[in-house]
Amino acid sequence: MFALKLSAPMTGLVVAMGGVLLLLQRTSLGKIAGERHRCSDSSGEVYAATEEHLLNLKSVKTYNAEERDVQMFGRLCNEVARYAKEAARHQSASDFRFEVGTLAALGW
């Protein structure tokens, strides 16, 4: 009986600390979503450039513009990689903070 009376306040405390932890993670989740959105937009630009290149392949070869296309693809792919890296970095940091906060809440 004593354990049941003690567990209800502790459960409430853990739930309250979980809510606080989620509120603290809100900004981090916004950063993650922003980086993923930018990564998605950049990927769309790569696909559009690929389509344009394939549609104009004959013209590109005629005017010796292959180097320009290679540089453009390189720039776009580096941009996608940078956004993906930032999203992964923010996700890792967020996961770490959440795990530490969870351990702190449960260990209290």
- pLDDT tens for residues 43-71? 999 999 889 888 888 888 888 888 888 89
Residue 86 has pLDDT above 90, yes or no: yes
Unique residue bearing structure tokens 């980086």: 35
Q: What is the pLDDT of residues 65-81, one digit of tens each?
A: 888 888 998 999 999 99
Residue 2 has pLDDT above 70, yes or no: no
- DSSP assignment string, 49-80: HHHHHHHTHHHHHHTT-HHHHHHHHHHHHHHH
Q: How far is CA 58 from the centre of its chain?
A: 38
Domain boundaries, the chain: 35-100
Residue 4 has pLDDT above 50, yes or no: no
Compute the average pLDDT of residues 23-33: 87
